[in-house]
Amino acid sequence: MVLDGKVCRPGWLAIAGRRISDCGSGTPPRPPDVDFPDAVVVPGFVDMHVHGGGGGWYTDGRGDEIAAAAAFHRRHGTTTTLASLISAGPADLLAAVGALAEATRAGVIAGIHMEGPWLNPVRCGAHHPAQLRNPDVAEINAVLAVGNGTIRMVTLAPELPGSTTAIRRFRDAEIIVAVGHTDATYEQTRLAIAEGVTVGTHLFNAMRPLHHREPGPALALLQDPRVTLELIADGVHVHPALVHAVIEAAGPDRVALVTDATAAAGCADGPFRCGTQQLDVVAGVARVHGTSTLAGSTATMDQLFRTVAGLASDPDEGLAAAAKTTSTTPARVLGFDHVGSLRTGLDANLVALSHDLQVRAVMANGDWVSES
């Protein structure tokens, strides 16, 4: 069991209602109601960047699809979800924000991540270039009004005209600002961090690549201890050796694993639609139709947990790092002080994993939502 960042063999939890009422290492003080003798119990995963799963999109703003996507990822251990939007026209964007705001208030998701539309077309990825635009204060104010406190994070390209004003407006609204889908230089990225950027969206992907004469945004984000680094550790977006190198260099306290999953997660290969873009999923890899451009992932957080846990030479170090990067770090970044760790007083969100780190059971807010 990973209790408050430390691996305990064995460990125990006492749960009252939706909270952890007590916990500790060693033999439990009374016979357990549920025993996992050959398992690892870790905090429920916190995914701060996910567009859908199980055939459902968060981006379409449909209540049934939002619920289906959240339920799919919950079965894979994600007990806290920040639903990510993709770039859209002004009216569609406001409608989607409104739908996700309602889902947030209902407790289906934990908040909204706006990935765009204030992104650079040069690094658009799966975002349709026609839907991208420069930050506009009037549109930002309209979005904030509809979101009404449910927007937790916004990804933008800091080199776009109006971006500095946008960063300040979002920070004034206590919204996390991330750099992503950007062609910014090293210097432009450093200036954005100075203005209040604290997250690098899916590091290395959809951003100017690292170069020895123009290091670009990746190095600026890596170097600054104020910045948390998203990584899609699915073996497709970032090589496992580079995932390991980033965690070694920055430390697991600065790395948040994200799925960036699409509705195709958990589904068979085939065609999918993402906003106005057509996607093709082949061998579990999603790409924009007719191109080699990656379009999100089909990953789940338990898959990413296994990847990071297997990178360390010491098994306990690997488990501790995986628990931090899939739960503790993203919870801290998002300001969620009630989740992210197995500790007395926090929500009883946990995942029981088998000896090979496959999901055996999931608990959210003190209730079993998946058990096998």
4/324 Cα distance (integer angstroms): 9
Residue 260 annotated among the catalytic residues of the structure = yes
- 213 a known binding residue? yes
Per the structure block, which two tokens stand in for 290? 């007719």
- 126 a known binding residue? yes
- 295 a known binding residue? yes
353/333 Cα distance (integer angstroms): 25
281/221 Cα distance (integer angstroms): 31
- 181 a known binding residue? yes
Phi then psi dihedrals of residue 47, to 5 deg: -105, 110
Per the structure block, which two tokens stand in for 55? 């055939």
347/15 Cα distance (integer angstroms): 9
Residue found by looking up tokens 């919950």 in the block: 74
8/168 Cα distance (integer angstroms): 43
Give 162's Cβ-side CA count (13 Å radius): 12
- 237 a known binding residue? yes
Residue found by looking up tokens 């920055």 in the block: 250
Q: Which of 260, 316, 337, 367 is catalytic?
A: 260
| Burial group, residue 164, by CB count within 10 angstroms (0-12, 13-18, 19+) | middle
Which residues neighbour 36 within 8 Å (Cβ) at sequence distance 6 or greater? 352, 360, 361
Helix ranges restricted to H, the chain: 63-75, 90-105, 137-147, 163-172, 186-195, 216-223, 240-250, 301-309, 315-323, 329-334
- 205 a known binding residue? yes
- 343 a known binding residue? no
91/44 Cα distance (integer angstroms): 35
- 206 a known binding residue? yes
- Within a 10 A sphere around the Cβ of 266, how many other Cβ atoms? 18
- 257 a known binding residue? no
Q: Which residues are annotated as a binding site for Zn(2+)?
A: 115, 181, 202
Q: Which residues are annotated as a binding site for substrate?
A: 126, 205-206, 213, 237, 294-296
Q: Which residues are annotated as a binding site?
A: 115, 126, 181, 202, 205-206, 213, 237, 294-296
- Kindly list the catalytic residues: 260
